[in-house]
Each structure stands twice: as C-alpha cells, then as structure tokens.
C-alpha cells in the first residue's frame, strides 16, 4: 500500500486541526498600545526587505502556554492612530523555526539563527489593509499559513523570517507596525537592500505586536474511536494513529463468501448518517463523506489495511474518518455490507 502514503495529507487541508485559540506577543500588549513603531516589513511599500524577528519563549510561557502549539495564522497590528491606505505585495515568503540561539545572541547571518525545524510556512501575495486610526489599532495584515508550524516554547525562542521583493506591489505604503521597541524580549535581523540577503544588521529590542492563532495547546494524543452502527461488519484498529507510523485497520465479521473489501476515507463525519435501506442495504449507514477508496485484503473472516501516516507536523490534531465495506453476495438485496465509522485522531503521542 505504498500509494496510500500521501492519502491523509491529501485529505486534510492545513486548517483541518483542532479548535483555534489566540495569544498576543510580545506579552503584555494584547490590549495596550506599544511604545514604538516600525516599518519592517509591512510599511515599506516598494522597498524590498528581509527581516527576522526572534521572540523570547517567555512571551508564551508567561501566558501559560507551556506545551507545543500548532500555529496556523499570524496577524500584525498597525501602529496606533495610523490611517495609511496600504496595498498588496505580490511576492512574500515567510519562514519559521525554533531559533537556534537565544534572542539576545542573534547573529548577522540569518541561517545561523534558524533551528533545524525551519519551514517555509507561506509564499505568495499579502494584502496590507488600511489603518483604522484607533489606539490600539486594527490588525491590518492577516496571513493564514499554508503549512502550519509546530512551536514548543520549551525548546527555544520563536523565529519569524519575512521577505518581500516588492515586484508587483500595488497601492501606497502601508501603516507602520505597532512595536514595543526595547520594552519587550524580542530581537531582529534585517537587510534593507536584498530580500534574498543572507546577512543583515542585528538589533535587540524591536518587537512588532503579533496575534498568533494556534490549534489547541499540548501534544495531541493519537486515538482511534469507533462510532455509529455497522451492518454485520465491525471496524477497529490494532494501534493508535501516531504521526510517522502505520495504522492497521481491521474489519471483523466478514462473510466467507465476500468477493472484495474496501476501506473508505474522508475528512468529514456525516451527522446524521445516511440510511442505506433505500438502496437495498437495510440496517446499513454511510457514516463519512467519502473521498478515497482503498482496496482491503480479506483473509477468512477478517479484512485488514495498513495505512501509512505521514510524519507531517501540521497533521497533528487533525481528524480523518474511515468506514469499511464488503461485496458480500446474498447478505442483502444489494450484496454490500458496511461497517461502523472510525474517527482517526492524529497525534504525536
């Protein structure tokens, strides 16, 4: 079943994770106007830039966030009172990592500050909205990450590295960012002449106010949970769906005259399920929105399917749904049986 390897990753979009929560960094500025401002990067209009901000981990732990977060979205706040119109960058690249150094020890070389979990989390256009003129002001740049980033404050500081070439910029220079300056534990490295520059100037104590949207807190605990009613067939799993492992799905009570079997996979759970009596399958229900069908080998009265789970951090906390079916002649007018559903909750422990 090597071809099943990308199935779960294909089924589940990056936002198919657990309930969203928010935290504002630097700590202490969620409802308070910060003490300074900066144009890096969203207020520079047609001037290219690469800038990395490194946020000290206590900006999270001091707000009771002491376990891994799946970061799915970032929003930057405009400087208080700013009403600049803004526009759209055509090409922005955002990378994130757990910093390899403490925020007080950042170097002039961008790569030296990044940890081994460096990910490109966004590449594409970014819109800079107009400032609303409030104090504190509106969150005027809103980016949903294409690849969510798993950040554990216990492993180090958070590095957010942004670059734009400004080619195709449309609009006027946007508002400056609200920044706590030296009032918070953040540093930055910036290059104002090349968006692909490998080195820059370091500065301790420049800290844009960012709202971090994340999916849950704490490492998701993998689990397989049967649900709903099956007709004859019973679907279960022999192990838990941990990232980077293979989930063994087992279907019991398969009639010995069954000609074929399949496991159905989808990203949605049907509530209520669809009663299949009308198509000649009394007592059977469709429990999931089917997106993928995989053949299930049958031995005796048992069907078994090994489903590889990608070791993709953004899948942590996501749900996929499974259901088994067999072609069993004479079992009902249609000759098809269906199992209960199974909730596959992907986890890291």
| Separation between Cα atoms, residue 275 and residue 279, nearest integer Å | 9
Q: Is 229 a residue whose pLDDT tops 70?
A: yes
For the ranges 106-115, 131-140, 165-174, the lowest mean pLDDT is seen at 165-174
Q: Is 228 a residue whose pLDDT tops 90?
A: no
Q: Say if residues 93 and 123 touch (Cβ distance below 8 Å).
A: yes
Q: Average model confidence (pLDDT) for the chain? A: 90
327-338 confidence digits (pLDDT tens): 999 999 999 999
- The pLDDT score that the predictor gives to residue 9 is 65
- The pLDDT score that the predictor gives to residue 52 is 98
Closest CA to 346 of 215, 253, 228: 215
Q: Is 220 a residue whose pLDDT tops 80?
A: no
| Separation between Cα atoms, residue 265 and residue 77, nearest integer Å | 41
Write the class of the CATH domain 223-345: mainly beta
Q: How many other CB atoms are there within 10 angstroms of residue 81's CB atom?
A: 15
pLDDT-based confidence at 218, cuts 50/70/90?
low
User: Residue 289: helix, strand or coil by DSSP?
Assistant: strand
Spell 261-286 as b/e; 16+ CB within 10 A means b.
bbbbbbbebbeebeebeeeebeebbb
Q: Is 149 a residue whose pLDDT tops 50?
A: yes
As a whole number, mean pLDDT of residues 40-52 equals 94
* Domain at 19-215: CATH architecture: Sandwich (2.60)
Residue 60 phi/psi, 5° resolution? -100, -50
- The pLDDT score that the predictor gives to residue 181 is 82
Spell 186-225 as b/e; 16+ CB within 10 A means b.
bbbbbbbeebebeebebbebbbbbbbbbbbbbebbebebe
For residue 56, cis peptide bond before it (omega within 30 degrees of 0): no
Domains 19-215 and 223-345 share a fold: no
Q: Kindly list the domain boundaries of the chain, sorted by start residue.
A: 19-215, 223-345
């Amino acid at each position: 079943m090597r071809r099943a390897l990308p199935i779960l990753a294909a089924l589940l979009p990056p936002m198919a994770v657990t309930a969203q929560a928010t935290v504002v960094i630097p700590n202490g500025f969620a409802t308070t106007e910060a003490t300074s401002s900066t144009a890096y990067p969203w207020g520079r209009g047609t001037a290219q830039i690469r800038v990395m901000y490194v946020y000290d981990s206590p900006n999270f732990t001091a707000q009771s966030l002491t376990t891994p977060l799946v970061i799915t979205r970032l929003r930057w706040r405009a400087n208080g009172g700013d009403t600049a119109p803004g526009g759209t960058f055509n090409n922005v690249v955002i990378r994130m990592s757990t910093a390899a150094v403490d925020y007080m020890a950042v170097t002039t070389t961008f790569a030296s500050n990044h940890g081994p979990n460096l990910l490109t989390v966004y590449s594409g256009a970014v819109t800079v909205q107009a400032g609303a003129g409030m104090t504190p002001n509106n969150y005027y740049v809103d980016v949903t990450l294409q690849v969510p980033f798993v950040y554990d404050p216990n492993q180090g500081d958070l590095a957010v590295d942004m670059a734009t070439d400004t080619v195709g910029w449309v609009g006027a220079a946007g508002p400056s960012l609200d920044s706590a300056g030296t009032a918070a534990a953040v540093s930055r490295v910036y290059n104002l002449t090349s968006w692909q520059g490998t080195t820059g100037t370091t500065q301790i104590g420049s800290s844009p106010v960012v709202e971090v949207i994340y999916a849950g807190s704490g490492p998701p605990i993998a689990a397989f949970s049967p649900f709903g009613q099956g007709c004859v067939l019973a679907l279960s799993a022999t192990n838990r769906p941990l990232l980077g492992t293979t989930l063994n799905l087992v279907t019991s009570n398969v009639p010995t005259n069954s000609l074929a079997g399949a496991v159905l996979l989808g990203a949605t759970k049907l509530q209520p399920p669809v009663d299949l009596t009308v198509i000649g399958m009394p007592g059977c229900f469709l429990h999931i929105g089917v997106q993928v069908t995989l053949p299930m080998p049958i031995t005796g009265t048992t069907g078994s399917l090994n489903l590889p789970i990608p070791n993709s951090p953004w899948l942590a906390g996501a749900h996929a749904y499974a259901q088994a079916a067999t072609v069993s002649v004479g079992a009902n007018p249609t000759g098809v049986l269906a199992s209960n559903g199974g909730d596959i909750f992907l986890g890291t422990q």
